[in-house]
Structure 1
């Protein structure tokens, strides 16, 4: 819901701030006062192209700001979160809000922000399309787009379940088609199969698991340094327990014997002897292990050469496949998987054709069910809207929803038809597409009739009607006002009007006035209280002269609404 609109140095408006609530808000004023500038400001905040002509004469730039209150389930809030433009600093206990700001410079440049973050004009358009819908004498209004027409028809017909079924069936069909296209794009794969088989054979001849590679490297290091290892082991064995000369083992036994002879005179020497005994045990175990190591060592040029050749093959494979040696096993497995896919491509293509046929049948069945619901909805919406446009002063006019089938070999998540809103403004005229209706006033009233007939079922929370009462008066004007007020029960509605019968239906009323200041015409916007509304309605009824009859009529209009 639009909660706030601020305008500064825009056209003839120096500064204006408006607060909005729910229901119907009407905006009135003298001709040329700038009533539609508020709609124009919302249009620019919605991403419309801007030029320097909108900047107030003498100012450097125009500034436009709109604030919105969002429901938790609002599509706009989901869009903000998806684009990382939501207000993360907002109070979690308060409704989510959104602020759109745009600055248009006198040199023609412009910048935009969403929640204080820079945004593109395209992003403004995407977000505003979820927040506000403008109905008037401009071609940018959403109802002129065929995609919006189909969405409104689906909302009116409550076809969400059928539409989801169609979308799911289309997704399944699309994925199968993409898989088949990928397989067909491979063409003749026999050459690649042969090449992959050669690569796989090279890798499969080697033992490439991490444990085997680690053992290979260890064996290679041991054989490369065999001579040094043997010499070191022989020297250690001689020093620790050799039969010739002084060894550590004999020296240790001699020390223990000397200490044991005098231990009875010093009890603590018993602890020393125990420690030396443990040391002797450790040395004996070290000697045993050292002897085993020495037994395993041998200078074997043939074995070392075999290790060198195997390690060379591993390094060559690593270089060839451009991966570290420890990733060669994963490379081999990936080649094996691709080989399996390629070898089974023909069989998979045959099964894919069968799966695609079934997916196509499911989509068509779902699309037929959706189409049936749409046809019922189109008939009802056509009937209800035709009745409403007759009430709105277009007697003999006719509204139709045409459903045009689309033929495609590719799945469409929107179903098998598109909607086109057609209108015949007068009796006997052929129905033409809504986007080609020439009269802006007729276009506004038709849009109002469609929205009232659909009871605001489209997701956009704020609807703006600009000069919806153009070219009508009297009883029709009162009906237009009543329809706008009825629409305000389900959606926030803003209406620029010059008719008192419409203005009287508003839940809130703003007046736009103009006056000369410092030799320049400027517009001002004022929110009217009850007495001021009476005066404004009297002015709208009586013109320049504020007669007693005009004031009495204004009171009656307001009393009839209450």
Structure 2
């Protein structure tokens, strides 16, 4: 609910502070007194696009501050949270317009963009009038209005879920089809490459092992003769025989040497032990250096084959095994593609069927709601002296989306037999105002959600009993909420719970506009003025009293 509006140096307003109340708030005044300036200023602080020049002549900048109550659960709280702004029970919007055209805005003392203001304004204010292109006259919002009227939230949530599931199923199917198409283009290459790799079956680390074995076999012929010669030198014809002789000779002389040969004999024994180890190592080396010449050929062939495949596929030799696994996986995808695609197609068909069911259910619910809304509108239009007018909610086929496959538009026919057309194209000024009021009354049955409704001269072109019917519907809309109405109709003004008069004051060098709250006596005079003109007579006052509810 709008609590307060403070305006400084905007157009012909130097300073103005207004405190609004729940219920029906009425603003009246002569034409040109400045009523539209109040709406321009409110639209400015809400981020709406409006007049380019708003700063009062002679001022450096204009400023507007608006204060709103935000009860728990108000939609504006979610906007504040999403924007990272502080949330409390009070919302204060402030916007400044500099003389050079620069505009700066704050929300609860945090600087924000005009986009944030507009997002908040959608949850705070509804403006209704002949130029109401943001609200009821905007065909883009008609489906949402019908859905709200019919409380279709659960059905829409079901359609959202089905649409999301359908999107996932289609994405999975399209991705699989793309992968299969890509693999099918290289099927010949894959089968040939996998055949080559399967014939060799390279393993990680095998290239290094083969290369080491090849090098050893190539070098073995050169070193084997020297190793064999060394073996002979260590054997009985060489070192072993000589050590054995030396050990025998010294052993025979040791008994007569008084222990002097004990140490040399022990050393010879150790040498013979080490010599034995050297002989075994040489024998092992000779065994290792012994190979079949065909083995070298086989090793080289496999080594060169592995290296050739690595160069051909531009991968490291140690990565050939993983590369082969990848190719086999792609080939398996192709070989199993029909079954896999069939499963994905079934999943897509099931998701489409679920979405179709949800969309059809929404269409049926909207069609039923359209019939109900049309009947409610007919009941509302009759007291507004438009009993011959026809309001029709048209539900037609539209593009599929998360909210179903329906387009919704509000159409009217003001004369019997005339073809229906868009609301803002067919109705005249006064008719349009009454259509909008009746529509808002019907739609308000779904709840207002804390939104302040503003009606800008919605009673234009009507009077008498029709104006009284307009006023009573405005008062009904304001019950339990807040409605601001700018009016020239005394019947409407008389039904207001709170009343302000907008006045223009002129001096030799300035013109300003001000707003005066009216008490009970002043209200009678103002309504009498609206009835009789400049000369307020006792009869006009009596007529004013008669209009006002007791």
- TM-score norm. by structure 2 comes to 0.71
Choose from 413, 416, 420 the match for 1:431. Answer: 420
CA contact (8 A) 1:3 1:21 kept: yes
Q: Which runs of structure 2 are paired with 1:305-320 in the superposition (5 Å)?
A: none
Would you say 1:374 and 2:366 are equivalent positions?
Answer: yes
Q: Tell me what 1:249 maps to.
A: none
Choose from 136, 147, 172 the match for 2:129. Answer: 136
Q: CA deviation at 1:344?
A: 6.0
CA contact (8 A) 2:128 2:455 kept: yes
After superposition, the C-alpha distances for 1:199-250 in whole angstroms (9 at most, x for unaligned) are: x99xx9559xxxxxxxxxxxxxxxxxxxxxxxxxxxxxxxxxxxxxxxxxxx
Of 131-140 and 430-439, the range deviating more from structure 2:
430-439
Q: CA deviation at 1:192?
A: 8.4
Q: Tell me what 1:386 maps to.
A: 378
> Matches of 2:323 and 2:92 in 1, distance apart?
53
Would you say 1:446 and 2:432 are equivalent positions?
Answer: no
> Matches of 2:67 and 2:333 in 1, distance apart?
56
After superposition, the C-alpha distances for 1:329-358 in whole angstroms (9 at most, x for unaligned) are: x99999999998788665433212111111
Of 478-487 and 152-161, the range deviating more from structure 2:
152-161
> Matches of 1:173 and 1:482 in 2, distance apart?
49
Q: CA deviation at 1:412?
A: 1.4
Distance 1:516 1:127, change over 3 A: same
Q: Which runs of structure 2 are paired with 1:259-274 in the superposition (5 Å)?
A: none
After superposition, the C-alpha distances for 1:27-78 in whole angstroms (9 at most, x for unaligned) are: 1111110112222223333433244422222222222222222232222211
> Matches of 1:340 and 1:531 in 2, distance apart?
91
Q: Tell me what 1:177 maps to.
A: 170
SS in 2 for 1:54: coil
Q: CA deviation at 1:368?
A: 1.6
> Matches of 1:77 and 1:368 in 2, distance apart?
34
Say which one has the larger Rg: 2
Distance 1:534 1:379, change over 3 A: same
Q: Tell me what 2:275 maps to.
A: none
Q: Tell me what 1:166 maps to.
A: 159
Distance 1:167 1:551, change over 3 A: same
> Matches of 2:51 and 2:487 in 1, distance apart?
26
Of 434-443 and 147-156, the range deviating more from structure 2:
434-443
- TM-score norm. by structure 1 comes to 0.70
> Matches of 1:190 and 1:53 in 2, distance apart?
66
Choose from 107, 111, 119 the match for 2:112. Answer: 119
> Matches of 1:37 and 1:337 in 2, distance apart?
72
Q: Which runs of 5 or more residues in structure 2 are unaligned?
A: 206-284, 289-309, 316-321
Distance 1:549 1:151, change over 3 A: same
After superposition, the C-alpha distances for 1:143-201 in whole angstroms (9 at most, x for unaligned) are: 12233211111121122222211111111111111222333344313688989x99x99
RMSD of equivalent CA atoms? 3.6
CA contact (8 A) 1:514 1:524 kept: yes
> Matches of 1:75 and 1:389 in 2, distance apart?
31
Q: Tell me what 1:37 maps to.
A: 37
Q: Tell me what 1:530 maps to.
A: 520
Of 394-403 and 36-45, the range deviating more from structure 2:
36-45
CA contact (8 A) 1:389 1:445 kept: yes
Q: Tell me what 1:189 maps to.
A: 183
After superposition, the C-alpha distances for 1:348-371 in whole angstroms (9 at most, x for unaligned) are: 332121111111111111222221
> Matches of 1:498 and 1:444 in 2, distance apart?
13
After superposition, the C-alpha distances for 1:516-559 in whole angstroms (9 at most, x for unaligned) are: 1452111101222222222211221221112111122222222x
Distance 1:147 1:107, change over 3 A: same
Q: Which runs of structure 2 are paired with 1:41-440 in the superposition (5 Å)?
A: 41-84=41-84, 86-88=85-87, 90=88, 95=89, 97-186=90-179, 187-189=181-183, 205=203, 346-406=338-398, 408=399, 411-437=400-426, 439-440=428-429
> Matches of 1:425 and 1:543 in 2, distance apart?
32
CA contact (8 A) 1:52 1:104 kept: no
Q: Tell me what 2:479 maps to.
A: 489
Distance 1:56 1:339, change over 3 A: farther
Distance 1:338 1:2, change over 3 A: farther
Of 524-533 and 458-467, the range deviating more from structure 2:
458-467
> Matches of 2:330 and 2:107 in 1, distance apart?
48
Of 18-27 and 422-431, the range deviating more from structure 2:
422-431
Q: Tell me what 1:553 maps to.
A: 543
Query: Between Structure 1 and Structure 2, how many residues are aligned?
Result: 439
SS in 1 for 2:136: helix
Distance 1:347 1:6, change over 3 A: farther
SS in 2 for 1:143: coil
Distance 1:66 1:185, change over 3 A: farther
Distance 1:354 1:426, change over 3 A: same
SS in 1 for 2:182: coil
CA contact (8 A) 2:28 2:35 kept: yes
Q: Tell me what 1:291 maps to.
A: none
> Matches of 2:332 and 2:37 in 1, distance apart?
68
Q: Tell me what 1:475 maps to.
A: 465
CA contact (8 A) 1:99 1:115 kept: yes
SS in 2 for 1:53: coil
SS in 1 for 2:360: helix
SS in 1 for 2:33: coil
